[in-house]
Amino acid sequence: MSSFWNLGKGAMLALAVVIAAPASAQRDPAYDAARAAGQVGEKMDGYLGIVGNGGSQLQRIVADINIKRRALYAEKARAANATLEEYALTAGCIAIARTAPGEKYQAPDGSWQTRTSAAPMRDSRCPG
């Protein structure tokens, strides 16, 4: 695990770019509406989660996004000589840091929080 964290700022910047690209590609009106309504949020493990009970359409949207994220994380983890879990955790840290006020995210204790203007709570495993 430590080899992944030592990749440096360049690798973290590359990871941030990778996360930003699929985020813009996955935006459809139903996803945007669910995110704005607080029905979905970013999880610590790098994947999107449903906050509360979601209908079948929302479950399909989240599953589709998470399948795409996992494939991307697996590819990038291999290139960075990291495990999928290490890469996904770092992606989760970055995605949570990028949430906007009003959006939901998973706190280190597993609870769902609403982002305020303050920085979100960070997991101690998040890099720098």
Cβ proximity of 45 and 39 under 8 Å: no
- Ranges of each domain in the chain: 2-114
User: pTM for the full model?
Assistant: 0.80
Q: What angle do CA 28, 98, 95 make, to 5 degrees?
A: 75
Read off the pLDDT of each residue in 31-40 and give the average, rounded to a whole number. 93
Cβ proximity of 7 and 80 under 8 Å: yes
pLDDT in tens, 10-19: 455 455 545 5
- Token pair 């770092």 is found at 90
What element of type H or E holds 40? strand 40-42
Assign 127 a pLDDT band (cuts: 50, 70, 90).
confident
The upper half-sphere exposure of residue 31, i.e. CA atoms within 13 Å in the direction of its Cβ, equals 18
Q: What is the DSSP letter of 114?
A: E
CA neighbor of 43 nearest in space, from 128, 114, 106, 104: 106
Q: Which residues lie closer than 8 Å to 53 by C-beta, 6 or more apart? A: none
pLDDT in tens, 79-118: 999 999 999 999 999 999 999 999 999 999 999 999 999 9
